[in-house]
Each structure stands twice: as structure tokens, then as C-alpha cells.
């Protein structure tokens, strides 16, 4: 059985289930395998702003940041 055939079979079988607690159990299983993060609109906007800033060169490399921080700490 191919992946598509299996998915279609599962979709059909799930659509026939009316037991809410069983459906919630299936959802729990699916949620545990999902790597998708649910982001708020504000979080998505922040990500887009950050991507634009990176494209425009408004960022600092990790090694440069570490040197800058060490400079601040040594200045005290």
C-alpha cells in the first residue's frame, strides 16, 4: 500500500467515527507527531520583519557579537 493509499484509507475510516473521545485520542497522536508550530499573527509579523532586516544586512555574526560582549566586560 502506498503512502497516498494509506492516507486516503485513514481519512475515510476517521470520517466514519462518531466517538468524540476516540477522535480526540487520534488528534493527540497526530499532534505529537506534528512539527508545525502554531504562531500568532504578531509572531509571524516579527519573523517577516526579522527576515527583511537580515536581507538588508542588519544583523551581527555570533563571533563578532562575542567579541563585542567581551569588550564590554573587559572595559569594566
pLDDT of residue 38: 82
Query: DSSP class of residue 34?
Result: -
- The pLDDT tens digits along the chain (76 residues) read 999 999 999 999 999 999 999 999 999 998 888 777 788 999 999 999 999 999 999 999 999 999 999 999 998 6
* DSSP at 56: T
End-to-end CA distance of the chain: 68
Dihedral of the CA atoms 45, 50, 52, 55 (nearest 10)? Answer: -160
pTM above 0.75, yes or no: no
What is the pLDDT, as a whole number, of residue 61? 95
Residue 67, helix vs strand vs coil: helix
Amino acid at each position: 500500500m502506498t503512502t497516498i493509499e494509506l492516507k486516503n484509507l485513514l481519512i475515510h475510516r476517521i470520517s466514519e467515527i462518531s466517538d468524540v473521545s476516540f477522535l480526540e485520542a487520534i488528534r493527540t497522536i497526530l499532534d505529537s507527531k506534528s512539527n508545525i508550530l502554531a504562531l500568532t499573527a504578531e509572531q509571524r509579523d516579527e519573523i517577516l520583519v526579522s527576515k527583511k532586516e537580515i536581507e538588508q544586512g542588519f544583523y551581527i555574526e555570533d563571533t563578532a557579537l562575542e567579541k563585542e560582549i567581551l569588550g564590554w566586560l573587559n572595559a569594566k
